[in-house]
């Protein structure tokens, strides 16, 4: 038995709301945990900037740490600056995900209640695409800068921080939203042309 369109829209709305609420809760939890006295700050450091990795014990002969990899370290008594930098590596991305979820829930709810093929929907999707792409790149840059500064505070030797990860996921999702917006916009224009013919 095929599932009705309204059922799919209800599931999509519930999923978008779940993403919105879960991302917000996680962001708040990370903020609270970051400022609990005694909570450690965790950061990955580039293995190339570490000394003595070739002398690690506990591994079989011929096994060495990857010099181009990353190793996770903790600061057990971090300063306020270090705690803020830790927050900047994660919270802005979660807030952006929450905002995307909120906007998608609003769009899906509107699709349940009225005609979704309108210029308003097309504009909303286009705006969501731009928000996802530009703010996604911004949160990635902010995270990389915060990680670079935090790494510099944790290392005694000077090094050139090379960002890891990529903002391509944000760009791809933003492009998908914008493309759907353009498709709906084209459909609205074709419907208007058809109405003038009839």
Give the tens place of pLDDT for each residue, 4-46. Answer: 778 888 999 999 999 999 999 999 999 999 888 888 898 888 8
Residue bearing the bigger pLDDT, 166 or 60? 166
Q: For position 96, what pLDDT does the model report?
A: 97
Residue among 197, 152, 162, 24 at smallest CA distance from 100 = 24
Query: Rounded mean pLDDT of 188-195?
Result: 81
Residues forming beta bridges with residue 75, ordered by sequence position: 41
Residue 62 has pLDDT above 50, yes or no: yes
Tokens of 121: 């929907």
Buried b or exposed e, range 82-107, using 16+ CB within 10 angstroms:
bbebbbbbbbbbbbbbbbbbbbbbbb
- Write out the DSSP string of 124-186: HHHHHHHIIIIIHHHHHHHHHHHHHHHHHHH-SS-------S-THHHHHHHHHHHHHHHHHHH
Interatomic CA distance for residues 118 and 130, integer angstroms: 19
- Position 95 confidence tier, pLDDT thresholds 50, 70, 90: very high
Residue 169 has pLDDT above 60, yes or no: yes
Residue 1 has pLDDT above 50, yes or no: no
Interatomic CA distance for residues 57 and 139, integer angstroms: 38
Going from N- to C-terminal start, the domains of the chain cover 5-49+70-197
Residue 84 has pLDDT above 70, yes or no: yes
What pTM, to 2 d.p., does this model score?
0.85
């Amino acid at each position: 038995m095929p599932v009705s369109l309204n059922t799919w829209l209800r599931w999509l709305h519930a999923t978008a709301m779940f993403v919105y609420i879960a991302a917000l809760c996680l962001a708040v939890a990370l903020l609270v945990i970051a400022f609990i006295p005694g909570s450690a700050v965790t950061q990955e450091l580039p293995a190339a900037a570490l000394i003595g990795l070739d002398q690690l014990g506990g591994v079989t002969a011929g096994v060495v740490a990857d010099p181009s990899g990353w190793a996770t370290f903790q600061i057990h008594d971090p300063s306020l600056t270090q705690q803020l930098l830790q927050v900047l590596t994660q919270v802005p991305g979660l807030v952006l995900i929450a905002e995307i979820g909120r906007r998608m829930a609003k769009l899906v709810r509107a699709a349940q209640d009225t005609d979704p093929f309108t210029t308003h929907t097309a504009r909303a999707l286009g705006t969501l695409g731009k928000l996802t792409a530009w703010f996604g790149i911004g949160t990635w840059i902010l995270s990389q800068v915060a990680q670079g500064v935090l790494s510099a505070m944790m290392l005694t030797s000077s090094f050139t921080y090379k960002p890891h990860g990529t903002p391509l996921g944000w760009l791809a999702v933003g492009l998908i939203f914008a493309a759907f917006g353009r498709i709906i916009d084209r459909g609205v224009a074709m419907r208007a042309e058809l109405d003038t013919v009839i």
